[in-house]
Structure 1
Amino acid sequence: MGHLPRQTDFVDMGAIEQMRSKSSLPKNSNSMSYQIMNKIGESPMTRTTSKRKPNLIKRTIMVASATAVLGAAVIGTGFISPAMADSLKKVPMFGTLYEGTSEKSVQAAIQQGIVSEPNLSVTHDGITLSVADLLYDGDRLSFILDREGVDLPNTASPYIDEDSKIIGNPDSEYIKSRMVPEKDQKKGYIKTPTILANGQKVDFSEGSFGDYPMKDNAYSVELSKGLKLPDKFELTIQANVTGVKEAFEFKIPVSIDNKALVLKPKDATKSDGQFSYTVKEMKVSPVSTRLVLDSKGKVPTSPEQKGDYSASMVYYEIVDDQGNVLNPSRFEYFNSKPKTEYHIDQLFSPFNETPKTITIKPFTLTVNQKDWSVVGQGKNSVGDKTYLKDLELTIPVK
């Protein structure tokens, strides 16, 4: 988020075992940290709305790395072939948001150089890595590495580097099982890539990296916050593979026609006397919508949210002037009562077309404080929503 996060951003153990990692990192961090701790108090449990069933195990692990980034190259045509449109579904983040996205938005993404298929490949010692789909919209970067030449259940390396800093119990079975000497590691796993822009390491504050669940033998990187890159630069991806001495290096020219709409509305504050929030900024691009806001005060409660049940933190829905609701890129749950101050910096799906107005609809979930379960939460629902209609805010788009 806007300020640097606390020391960790937690993800559930099931996701880690699938090597689908989420990280929030201080800038210029130099090492990978593996942290195992019991989740007590106010640490978030990230549950996605993907096909994988949410894992409610409260014991969590965080895998953090400071060297993962991506970019996107130029595509020289505005024509959308069926193959290209289908490939967009596989791009990290954009793929999950593609359903319902208009052809006009896809067209704009291609014309502006935001998405591309560079199809660059490097082969070392019988293993081939290819840069498949890339996405860069000036605010967020993503890419996929395809792997060939080895048959392994996962693509991301499960091993802990010898120079890694271990925080927690270094004698835990989980840690010891991954402290494998380099000479004994299975060949073919992709280590966390090093990413450069014009020869310099790229800083970021939040991102994800690891196996791409929608495609076999694919490794994805998604950097979603803290990027400060120009619209035109040379992207370098340096990836190492276990059991292979030579690094896999890709150099890709990145150039976008950045036409993102940036809204910084004046007087965009709503309050009920105890709780208030202010929209600081909204960024609208063909592939995403970013909402940045600050909130302060005690969260409003409904009659159902009493006794063993309480209100969650306040979440926010984005709705266009046609009533279309944007999907959040991920949805977080917390095993604690809400705080009185939040800074929200969240990505949502793109608008089908630029709306005349944007409405922010705050809501809460009802949480059982005994086990922090959410009333109504299931495979196709984040939970039963209690909308705070008095706090709805409509922003005109000029």
Structure 2
Amino acid sequence: MSIHLKQNDKDMAQIELLIRETPVEVDLVDRVISKYERNEQPQVVKHQKKWHYKVAFATAMLVSLLFITSFISPTMAATLKQVPVLSSIFRLAGDLGLQMADEKGLSTKPQTSVTQEGFTLSVSEVAYDGTRVSIAIERPYKEDQKEALMDCISNYNLFINDEPINSFAPSESNSISRFMYPGKDNASVIIEFSDLRNQGGKPFPEQFDLTIQAFVRGIENPIEIDIPVKNKVKDYVTLAPNISRQYDNIHLTLEKVKLTPVTTSITTRMVLTDNSTFTDNLTLLTMGIVIIDEHGREIEVIGGNGWNATNGNIHLDDLRYTPFESVPKTITLKPYIHLFKENEKGMFQLDKNGYPKIQYIPELEITIPVQP
């Protein structure tokens, strides 16, 4: 095994995701996460007020130009798209796949709004590539707005063709997870979810009506928004390699791979070949996988859904990554584990920058051809 220091801001998000997506003891999960969060992290200072002032001024100037002239050159149109107030949430959310969906016309822009008790919610963009559904939600932007939209929404429900999304789940113990994260500013969020077809669930339809039922703090009844969702991706690659590797008591199988212009997704099955189980096994529950192409270019993990039965020895993972810029000739999966402190249970070993140390397991590495 070789030790490698991985410094990726999304690494802890994946760790928390994988832990919380697995039915282990809740107290242990919270204890591990809270211990890590208490470690000192590099301080980030954002001069948001000054930045928003400049954006507002620039936006006002550009809008004035639109009234002065009836012709907008391609250069001006491109410039306007770089202004956060006017630009797509997907373009500025920091997700390469959603950015590609916006740029390549693979998203839809319903511009549907609902106002209730003076509070307006709008769905400005939707992307669905047959793997993940992403919805951009926003409210009118205000310079002096203190509370982020993400904090205003206390809970939300999702319905596909009037049926709860978990009617597509494999079982009650393996439900479909919903994720909400910040959009381009504090007035926007992105909601994401994926089906669990590779874990025994029903696939989402290629086209469906989605109902978002959002519970907003201070408003008695939920705000409901209905939007159409359609898979606009026609070019994609699907593989079912079913290639396995063995190391010690770990039997890892790469079952499926799907590459779209928006998402790279893999499905893996990990089996413990001795009498051990995944319960409370943080080393295996936090295992990650790096994916690279034939040139060693790495794609970033976006999220995933992991599940194993209580006291079970089989763990299923659907992991989602950013897309490759072009279809690679080969991809290589490089599994790794996080290193924990010996004398402090649940505490990660950290490098000098405060990021968890990882250790690759070359015996579990898998390389498969993608292009014929």
* Length-normalised TM-score, structure 2: 0.62
Please give the alpha-carbon distance, in whole angstroms, between the structure 2 residues aligned to 1:131 and 1:250: 8
User: Structure 1, unaligned stretches of length 5 or more?
Assistant: 1-11, 27-36, 48-52, 58-79, 158-188, 300-309, 333-338
Identity %: 23
Aligned match for 1:39, one of 27, 30, 39? 27
**Secondary structure at the residue paired with 2:301?**
coil
Please give the alpha-carbon distance, in whole angstroms, between the structure 2 residues aligned to 1:375 and 1:298: 27
Counterpart of 1:55 in structure 2 is 37
Amino acid of the structure 2 residue aligned with 1:194: N
Counterpart of 1:200 in structure 2 is 163
Please give the alpha-carbon distance, in whole angstroms, between the structure 1 residues aligned to 2:141 and 2:299: 40
Closer, same or farther in 2 for the Cα pair 1:82/1:237, shift >3 Å? farther
Q: Does 1:280 align with 2:255?
A: yes
**Secondary structure at the residue paired with 2:323?**
coil
Matches within 5 A, 1:138-177: 138-148=130-140, 151=145, 153-156=147-150
Please give the alpha-carbon distance, in whole angstroms, between the structure 2 residues aligned to 1:386 and 1:257: 39
Please give the alpha-carbon distance, in whole angstroms, between the structure 1 residues aligned to 2:352 and 2:95: 20
Aligned match for 1:375, one of 334, 340, 349? 349
Aligned match for 2:116, one of 124, 149, 169? 124
Please give the alpha-carbon distance, in whole angstroms, between the structure 1 residues aligned to 2:137 and 2:20: 19
Compare 369-378 and 387-396 and name the one that shifted more.
369-378
Say if 2:90 and 2:99, in contact at 8 Å, map to a contact too: no
Root mean square deviation of aligned Cα = 4.4
Say if 2:195 and 2:204, in contact at 8 Å, map to a contact too: no
Q: Does 1:270 align with 2:245?
A: yes
**Secondary structure at the residue paired with 1:39?**
helix
Closer, same or farther in 2 for the Cα pair 1:89/1:262, shift >3 Å? farther
How many residue pairs match? The answer is: 287
Say if 2:90 and 2:183, in contact at 8 Å, map to a contact too: no
Greater helix content: 2
Say if 2:304 and 2:319, in contact at 8 Å, map to a contact too: no
Aligned match for 2:267, one of 267, 271, 292? 292
Q: Does 1:316 align with 2:289?
A: yes
Deviation at 1:246, TM superposition (A): 6.0
Say if 1:263 and 1:282, in contact at 8 Å, map to a contact too: yes
Say if 2:155 and 2:215, in contact at 8 Å, map to a contact too: yes
Q: Does 1:215 align with 2:213?
A: no
Say if 2:334 and 2:362, in contact at 8 Å, map to a contact too: yes
Deviation at 1:374, TM superposition (A): 2.0
Closer, same or farther in 2 for the Cα pair 1:251/1:108, shift >3 Å? closer
Aligned match for 2:320, one of 347, 350, 362? 347
* Length-normalised TM-score, structure 1: 0.58
Closer, same or farther in 2 for the Cα pair 1:275/1:44, shift >3 Å? farther
Deviation at 1:320, TM superposition (A): 0.8
